[in-house]
Structure 1
Amino acid sequence: MNHPTPAIVTQRAARRLPRVALLLLCAAYVLPGHFGRDPWRNADVTAYGYMHGLARGGDWWHPLIAGVPSDGGLLPYWLGALFIQALGGWLGPELAARVPFALLLAASLALTWYSCYHLARTEAAQPVAFAFGGEAHPVDYARAVADGAVLALLACLGLLQLGHEITPELVQLAGASLALYAVSASTYRGWQPRVAMLAALPLMAGSGAASIALALGMAGGVVCLRSHYDSTRAFAPWILASAVLAVLLATALGTWRWHVLDWPSPAQVARLLLWFTWPAWLLAGWTLWRWRHHLLHRHIAWPLAAAGIAVVGCVAMNGSDRALLLGLPALAVLSAFALPTLRRPMASAIDWFSVCFFTAIALFVWVMYAAMHTGLPAKPAANIAKLAPGFEAQFSWLAFGLGLAATLAWGWLVRWRTGRHREALWRSLVLPAGGVTLIWLLMLTLWLPLLNYARSDRPLVERLAQHLPAGACVRASGLPRHQLAALEALGGFTLHQGLGDPGKPSCDHLLLIGTRNTPPQPPQGWVQIAAERRPTDRQEQTYVFRRDPATSATEAR
């Protein structure tokens, strides 16, 4: 039985989001977080440590931090190291390493738009044709739905931090977005989706997600073979070729690592899905209900399969949010198809929740910002001093101006949305996307010095540097990998893991991890000279030892 499409859309509702506004919103989302900060612990600074080591002459086939090899694929580290070598002298190594990953995040947003656009142009996704005309034009309808997909992706809370790191997962996200686009555009494009598919799965495999890449390839192949379009069915061999390339690359780079861990509890997975994919999961569920008679059509089946693979990967990896990240573009596309069927009470609920929630958070950010610089209100200022002892706020006109402009833009957006603007399909996602972007921009401008002070390992490195000669050979045992990376990349020290053996270099300084109440016991022949901790750490301390000169002289004789 052929069921009619549930989408009923007029031409007035299919107007597109103004391109200048969409580009400014994306820029306000992508750019903050890539400037003016150190690589943050844990995964961010660890990845930067491998890139920094490669750029400074390390083995490109075996990147190391203090002799510890990397866990993921090599492609992300190569990418960051190449940009450090090319732009590090001009931008500085830390910012240079961020440039390609900012471009990858922007590319993921663009690919999400084009994926949804091409899926919305398929016959099964089109709205109902009116008896006397006036229904949305197919291209205009597709553009409006695609605008909604980008807004849904921007609104996802899980993309905020992970999308602004320089970790392998961002390269995997770009690969997953490429695969999503390739299958979606296979009907209307020629060589572009083929090239995209040939790059997508190898990109994921080379960055540590070989198993998810193959699962996406299998799902994409099944979707293409079931399509009613000849060009889409003919696309299946290109998916097979991409899968073969992914297998070869994963084998060559040694990325066949199975990350299956203990199964998480259902409550743990539910909590992660609830906040990480908000609000896309809500709209995606509505899509599945309203389009329940069309689940086998490509505009529903393909993003549903891609998002489902990411959820399965998340569960298999003990509730890993980094695996779930790869499904956000597909989930955003799936949620966009709820917009043509969204009822007014549900849209109003999303709007008012967004207004209340994000306005309250923005007010909180400004109050804490005032407390940082003026000491008033007194209680927030005291909390900041307690949580980040030693932090001294420095006023920046640029940060203040950007924060003020973002807040005023939010006020205008709320006024626009609460006015008589009910036609556009994407209207219900403007406030969630704008609110997330507002809070991200405020925190990464007004709060950036405080966040950098609290989340960077540089304060600890600077404290340890007071007790270690510049460029010294240092032996470390028990230190977490992110701290090793910070000492090498931010401090310029040469680290060697372990307590030492005859086959390794002899260092005059040793670092051990401990707590304030339970200091570590050093090997014989070492004397403690200092104990330092990050300003925001309560208990954990790094102990500095120096080789006892008397013991060294005895060993020399």
Structure 2
Amino acid sequence: MLTYTPTPTRSSPSSRERPWLLLLLAVAWLLPGIFSHDLWHPAEPAVFTAVGEFSAGGNMWLPTVLQQPSFEVSPVYIWVAALFQKLLAPWESNIYAATRFASVLFTVIGLTCCGNAGFRLLGKHQGRSVALILIGCTGLLTMAHFLTGYSVVFAALGMCLYGFSLAPTRVIMASLLLGGGWALLSVSVGFLVPSALMLTALVLPISPLWRFKRYYLTLIGAFVFAWPLMSVYPFALLKSNPAAFSLWWNYFAFGPFGGMDNFQTAFSLPYYLKNILWFAFPAWPLAVWTFTRSKLTQHCWGVLALVWLVFVGILLAINPHQYQEHLVWLLPPLALLGAAQLDGLRRGAAAFINWFGMMAFGFLAVFLWIGFFAMNYGWPEKLAERSHYFSPYYIPEINKMSLVVALLFTPIWLWAITRKHIRGRQAVTNWAAGVTLVWALMMTLFLPWLDAAKSHAPVVKEMEAALSPELKTALTNKQACISVDRNARTARIAWAQYGTIDLATGNGECRYRLVQQPKGSAVPQGWDLIWEGARPRNKVEGFALLAKHEAENHAQAQ
């Protein structure tokens, strides 16, 4: 008698997922770059000044830089940064590092919300994949570590994504997150981006997958919560400063698109398509893989990501300003799509991503170590010459703690990439570890070198060193003064942060004048050049100290 004995089913291997490793990787990715450097051009000096003016008693609804309204940074970011200054400086860190923790906090909120959304929409373990893909995107690095209001935008987008994911199960929390995300976006980047996500929410029920009672209740709750909250900032600004409200309403209400009086659009699609290749890698190629493997309209997450990308992508395409940071509007749905079919990624594709990451980040790590020896010990000689060319203010120094951190990161990365049987999730983890390694080496081995190139501190110190002892004494005793134009914002901020001499704003009686102009510019008639300088390789922005001719100065005094 013929019988059939079925092949015994093999039990699936136990998961080796270790959530605490993701936490360690996130911490290792977040902390380098926060400490031990000055304010870096272009965004940090202005943002730090706005935080300082708010802490000194400024209008909480109106960020100002040198007493002039500045709507480029969210007031929410200013509040949180000022709070971190009070909590951490100077006991736990210097005031610059303490302020940067606002960016860290908002980035953590964005990563957590996007990760939880991935867990809710895609299933177990996929939330970690979403977070790892985001950590691997180099576009997040600057907004996560430096003083920039776009970390608030990332946090708000993460809240929106998480709110959508909670709609089938937790209506109240979904409404609060979705409505709160819209409101936070409105005060951070104007009304147009949250309007696009509101339109996304209204269009989703076109798909049967989003036609359920709990989603309709979530929509109602989100709009009921968001609209009053979105009106708080304009109303408070109107009551506290009507002139500033008029300026905001006419020129900044729609963020980069302007306001009611100067709404602008332009065709920026080629710019954003070009820059998304590096800004959102590896999110976009993994999203393309998901698109080829799945019919997005058959999954609720697919419909959500597709509609989000369409509406927000249209905004980017007609954006009148070409800023790379605006690409963060697309990161949450791209990371969600990238994680959706990550476990189904072909072994060859996963091996290629892993191999490419090993080669790219390994080469960069070796280059950074060689560069470290070149700029500090003069070998290799050619590389040492180039390092001096790009950062001539750098004085060789070796921080033992930074060197220890760099020495620890390198072997840990080598250990992490030696795992066998690489699949999609492991390849993405290795990629995120490679980004973390290179970033950590740059922010330890190269930090003083970068600081000397990107900070205005060496320029300010060079100018003060060029002053004669007699002039320094006269400036100290208030017997002489140096004036600066009120509109020379960069110079005013830099000398306020790093200088020991108080500049007189717009004082025509001063014999000496600090001007902001390209290095090598012609000296105005009636003035002598005492000093000029600029940050390395900067041909647009420079500074010069001028002295009025003695005869003209005497005649003016008469």
For 1:55 and 1:490, the matched residues in 2 are separated by 19
Residue in 2 that maps onto 1:476 = 485
**How far apart in 2 are the matches of 1:421 and 1:396?**
37
State the shift of 1:328 in Å: 1.3
For 2:156 and 2:436, locate their aligned partners in 1 and report how far apart those are by CA, in whole Å.
Answer: 24
The question of whether the paired residues in 1 share the 8 Å contact of 2:313 and 2:330 is answered with: yes
Asked whether 1:233 is paired with 2:216, we answer yes
Aligned residue identity for 1:488: A
* Equivalent in 97, 118, 121 of residue 119 of structure 1: 121
What amino acid does structure 1 have at the position aligned with 2:182? Answer: L
The answer to whether the Cα contact below 8 Å between 1:217 and 1:239 also exists between their aligned partners in 2 is no
Amino acid at match of 1:238: G
Name 1:143's counterpart in structure 2.
124
Further displaced range: 328-337 or 197-206: 197-206
Counterparts of 1:400-419 in structure 2, within 5 Å, are 400-416=403-419, 419=420
Contact residue 171 and residue 217 of structure 2 kept, 8 A: no
Match of 2:433 in 1: 434
Deviations along 1:269-299, one digit per CA (max 9) or x if unpaired, are: 322111111111101112122222x426321
Judged with a 3 Å threshold, the aligned counterparts in structure 2 of structure 1 residues 265 and 167 are, in CA distance, closer, same or farther, namely closer
Larger deviation, residues 312-321 vs 142-151 = 312-321
Equivalence for 1:154: 135
Q: Secondary structure at the match of 2:485?
A: strand
Distance in 2, Cα, partners of 1:89 & 1:199: 33
Residues 429, 48 of structure 1: CA spacing in aligned structure 2 closer, same or farther, 3 A cutoff?
same
Structure 1 segment 105-504 matched on structure 2, within 5 A: 105-120=107-122, 142-223=123-204, 227-245=210-228, 247-252=230-235, 253=237, 254=248, 255-260=252-257, 263-264=266-267, 266-292=269-295, 294-295=296-297, 297-315=299-317, 316-416=319-419, 419-420=420-421, 422=423, 426-466=425-465, 467=467, 469=475, 474-476=483-485, 479=488, 481-491=489-499
Identify the residue that residue 17 of structure 1 maps to in structure 2: 17
Aligned to 1:531: 532
Deviations 1:308-364 (A, max 9, x none): 444333331443211111321221112101213322222222111111111111111
Q: Specify the code of the residue in structure 1 equivalent to 2:158.
A: S
Are 1:144 and 1:426, in contact at CA under 8 Å, matched by a contact in 2? no
**Contact 1:204 1:213 survives alignment (8 Å):** yes
Q: Is the 8 A contact 2:137 2:279 kept in 1?
A: yes
- What is the distance in 2 between the residues matched to 1:396 and 1:221? 55
SS in structure 2 at match of 1:339: coil
Structure 1 residues 521, 65: CA separation in 2 closer, same or farther (over 3 Å shift)? farther
**Residue 40 of structure 2 corresponds to residue 40 of structure 1:** yes
Per-residue CA deviations over 1:503-538 (Å, capped at 9, x if unaligned) read: xxx66653222334323527x6x6543223224546
Counterpart of 1:455, as a letter, is: K
Listed as ranges, the gaps of 5+ residues in structure 1 are 1-9, 121-141
SS of equivalent to 2:343 = helix
Q: Distance in 1 between matches of 2:344 and 2:205?
A: 26
Quick check: 1:202–1:246 contact (8 Å CA) kept in 2?
Answer: yes
Which one-letter code corresponds to 1:475 in the other structure? Answer: V
Shift of 1:436: 0.8
In the alignment, the residues of structure 1 paired with residue 82 and residue 498 of structure 2 have an alpha-carbon distance, to the nearest angstrom, of 15
**2:245 alignment counterpart:** none
In 1, Cα distance between the equivalents of 2:98 and 2:511? Answer: 33
Is contact 1:511-1:543 (8 Å) kept? yes
Q: Helix, strand or coil: the match of 1:341?
A: coil
Q: Residue type matched to 2:253 in 1?
A: W
Amino acid at match of 1:370: F
Counterpart secondary structure, 1:529: strand
Question: Gapped runs of 5+ residues in structure 2?
Answer: 1-9, 238-247, 258-263
Conserved? CA contact 1:153–1:280, under 8 Å = yes
Quote the Cα distance in structure 2 between the aligned partners of 1:527 and 1:494. Answer: 21
**Are residues 30 and 309 of structure 1, via their aligned partners in 2, closer, same or farther at CA, if it must alter by over 3 Å?**
farther
| Superposition TM-score, scaled by structure 2 size | 0.83
- Separation in 2 of the partners of 1:527 and 1:321? 41
Percent of aligned positions that are identical: 25
RMSD between aligned residues: 3.0
More RCO (CA 8 Å, sep 6+): 1
Matched, 1:80 2:81: yes
Q: 1:220 touches 1:239 (CA, 8 Å); kept in 2?
A: no
